[in-house]
């Protein structure tokens, strides 16, 4: 069983559904609204735990009802919340997900306590990091904390996975130097490398540029098409499973969490792990809400047998 630690965000998601996005100055009625647990970090941790990994979370919530709700979402899925700090300086992070009838989403985020995660918070979690197969992080918490976490993981001989989202044009060299696997989508790949992803050749070019920045292993996710992987000079493309999407909000996070649950620390089974992660994502997009849609290992394996 892989041991996974996730450093990242916890957000309460407010999901607003409507037929189409309004034009400037236009008012439209909602077709529905709901609340669910979210945040890229929490989603990835829950996905890893439900897929069978022993999972620990590093993050921060407020001393409010939303914070208690988010911690409960972690523990309900078997995620260790020992290193989730509580702050009375800011409120728990929140996100507003705008979802139209074609399942296209746009997301607005208030970082709240996610932006207060510090290197010192990460250092408190060193026992978990040192014992983990993988440490996963994204960009919804301060990069300084992520750099410290990756340094601790590297010092302990453990592997790191970076999801460079939300996209940013400036990633510190010291973070990339301690990243073993980077998992951007096509937009994030273009932001980081300048390569516009249109076909497999551009995926190869983008992945090679990421390798030139210091990351040996690369996965580029391309939504409903699938995912491209590169390990050293080896590479391949794994098509996505064709399903009717209802809500794609947690698709990428489910992919990363499920991937980490089965990936070997030497990345030797990268292609097979991508296939498993694709299957998990295909299940997640068929349900509404980020965390409610994340499948269990049993559901993933049942879908594989079907």
Catalytic residues: 253
Find out whether 79 and 57 touch, Cβ atoms under 8 Å.
Answer: yes
In this structure, what token pair is assigned to residue 31?
Answer: 């077709």
Instruction: Describe the strand order of the beta sheet including 134-137 as a list of residue ranges.
Output: 80-87, 54-62, 3-7, 134-137, 159-162, 181-182, 217-221, 226-231, 234-239
Give dist(CA 106, CA 41) in Å, integer.
18
Residue 222, annotated ligand binder? yes
DSSP secondary structure, 75-120, as one string: HHTT-EEEEEEEESSSPPEEEEEEE-TT--EEEEEE-GGGGG--HH
Residue 4, annotated ligand binder? no
Residue 13, annotated ligand binder? yes
Phi, psi of 81 (to 5 degrees): -100, 20
Residue 284, annotated ligand binder? yes
Residue 41, annotated ligand binder? yes
Residue 43, annotated ligand binder? yes
- Of the candidates 289, 305, 304, 280, which has an alpha carbon nearest to the alpha carbon of residue 47? 280
DSSP assigned state of 225: G
Residue 12, annotated ligand binder? yes
Buried b / exposed e along 109-147 (16+ C-beta atoms within 10 A): bebbbbebbeeebbeebbebbeebbbbbbbbbbbeebbb
For residue 81, the Cα-to-chain-centroid distance in whole angstroms is 18
Residue 40, annotated ligand binder? yes
Please, which residues have CB within 8 angstroms of residue 300's CB and are 6 or more apart in sequence? 51, 258, 276, 279, 280, 283
Please, which residues have CB within 8 angstroms of residue 144's CB and are 6 or more apart in sequence? 118, 119
Residue 157, annotated ligand binder? no
Residue 39, annotated ligand binder? yes
Residue 249, annotated ligand binder? yes
Residue 260, annotated ligand binder? no
CA dihedral 268, 52, 7, 76 (to 10 degrees): 170
Buried b / exposed e along 228-242 (16+ C-beta atoms within 10 A): bbbbeeebebbebbe
Residue 253, annotated ligand binder? yes
Residue 289, annotated ligand binder? yes
The binding site for ATP consists of 185, 221-226, 252-253, 278
The binding site consists of 11-13, 39-43, 140, 185, 221-226, 247, 249, 252-253, 278, 284, 287, 289, 293
The binding site for K(+) consists of 247, 249, 284, 287, 289, 293
The binding site for substrate consists of 11-13, 39-43, 140, 253
């Amino acid at each position: 069983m892989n041991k996974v630690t996730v450093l990242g965000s916890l957000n309460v998601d407010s999901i607003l559904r409507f037929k189409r996005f309004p034009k400037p100055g236009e008012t439209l009625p909602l077709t529905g609204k709901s609340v669910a647990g979210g945040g890229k970090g929490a989603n990835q941790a829950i996905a890893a735990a439900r897929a069978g990994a022993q999972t620990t979370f590093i993050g921060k919530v407020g001393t409010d009802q939303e914070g208690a709700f988010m911690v409960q979402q972690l523990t309900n899925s078997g995620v260790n919340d020992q290193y989730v700090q509580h702050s009375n300086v800011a409120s728990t992070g929140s996100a507003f997900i705008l979802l139209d009838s074609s399942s296209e989403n746009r997301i607005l985020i208030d970082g709240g306590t996610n932006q207060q995660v510090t290197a010192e918070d990460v250092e408190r979690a060193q026992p978990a990091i040192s014992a983990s197969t993988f440490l996963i992080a994204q960009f919804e918490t301060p990069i300084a904390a992520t750099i410290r976490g990756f340094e601790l993981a590297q010092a302990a001989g453990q592997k790191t996975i970076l999801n460079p989202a939300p996209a940013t044009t400036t990633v510190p060299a010291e973070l990339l130097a301690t990243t073993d696997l980077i998992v951007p989508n096509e937009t994030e790949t273009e932001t980081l490398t300048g390569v516009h992803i249109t076909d497999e050749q551009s995926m190869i070019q983008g992945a090679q540029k990421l390798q030139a920045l210091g990351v040996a292993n690369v996965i580029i996710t391309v939504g409903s098409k699938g995912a491209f992987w590169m390990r050293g000079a080896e590479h391949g493309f794994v098509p996505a499973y064709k399903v009717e999407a209802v809500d794609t909000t947690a698709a990428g996070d489910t992919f990363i969490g499920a991937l980490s649950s089965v990936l070997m620390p030497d990345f030797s089974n990268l292609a097979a792990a991508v296939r498993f992660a694709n299957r998990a994502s295909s299940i997640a997009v068929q349900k509404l809400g980020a965390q409610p849609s994340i499948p269990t290992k049993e559901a993933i394996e049942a879908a594989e047998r079907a």
